[in-house]
Amino acid sequence: MIIAVDGPAAAGKGTLTRRLAGHYGLRCLDTGSLYRSVAATLIAAGSDPQDTAAAVAAAETVDPRRFAASELRAPGTGHAASIIAAEPDVRAALLIFQRAFAARPPGAVLDGRDIGTVVCPDADVKLFVTASVGARAERRWLELREADPGAQLEDVRADLERRDARDASRDTAPMRAAADAHLLDTTEMDIDTAFREAVAIIDAARG
Ligand code: C5P
């Protein structure tokens, strides 16, 4: 079984994906970590995120385990990742990795921006997880404050809005809900409620 989980930044996709994978006995892949890993490779080498040749080379040998979670989750890495993610050749290289991952038994839950539309268009169930930008900014800010007590809510919100706009407007594999995706708005939900709702949607969709 393959479950696709797409949606904008900080909508709760990551936690939901891990819990769904545990519940259904599937493997899970945070595809954002692949784009972040390419970005982190370029940052570590002092390269520009616009350096397409360097980004493609990093994408062809991607391994998110090379970086600590704190490096991958840093706001600068997310920003560079969304610039790199607009490059078709980078996406093509990462597509190979993602499809190979999804194809291995017993199946997987993948979260990202284009899983239901491009990576796994034949996924058994597709979710598009959203929340208001205010709710998403607050969640991400609370997370970031643990590492950086000076983090400002307005900056976090502006960063999310910039990234969402770039992800939704790029020509190749823009972020959007697949026509057959089930929408899950988590604005008013805690993670336990969102998980229960997602399981209800998936179980109903599988009959
Ligand atoms: O999900 P996360 O915030 O970690 O993703 C970082 C960036 O990677 C996103 O802003 C987006 O530009 C890119 N991305 C993508 N397609 C995916 C997953 C992530 O373009 N499937």
Q: Are 65 and 34 in contact (CB under 8 A)?
A: no
Q: Where are the domains of the chain?
A: 2-206
- Ligand 1 centroid from CA 74, angstroms: 13
User: Average pLDDT, whole number, for the chain?
Assistant: 95
* Ligand 1 atom 1, closest CA: 32
Report the topology of domain 2-206. Rossmann fold (3.40.50)
* 195-206 average pLDDT score: 97
Q: Please give the Cα distance from 159 to 151 (Å, whole number).
A: 12
Give Dmax over CA atoms of the chain in angstroms.
51
* Ligand 1 atom 4, closest CA: 32
Percent of the chain with pLDDT over 90: 92
DSSP-assigned beta bridge partners for residue 127: 5, 182
> Any residues with Cβ below 6 Å from ligand 1, and which?
9, 31-32, 35-36, 78, 81-82, 85, 112-114, 163, 167
Q: Is 3 helix (H, G, I), strand (E, B) or coil?
A: strand
The structure tokens listed for 164 are: 């969402």
pLDDT score at 164: 95
Quick one: pLDDT band at residue 70, thresholds 50, 70, 90? Answer: confident
Q: Is 46 left (phi over 0), alpha (psi -120 to 50) or beta?
A: left
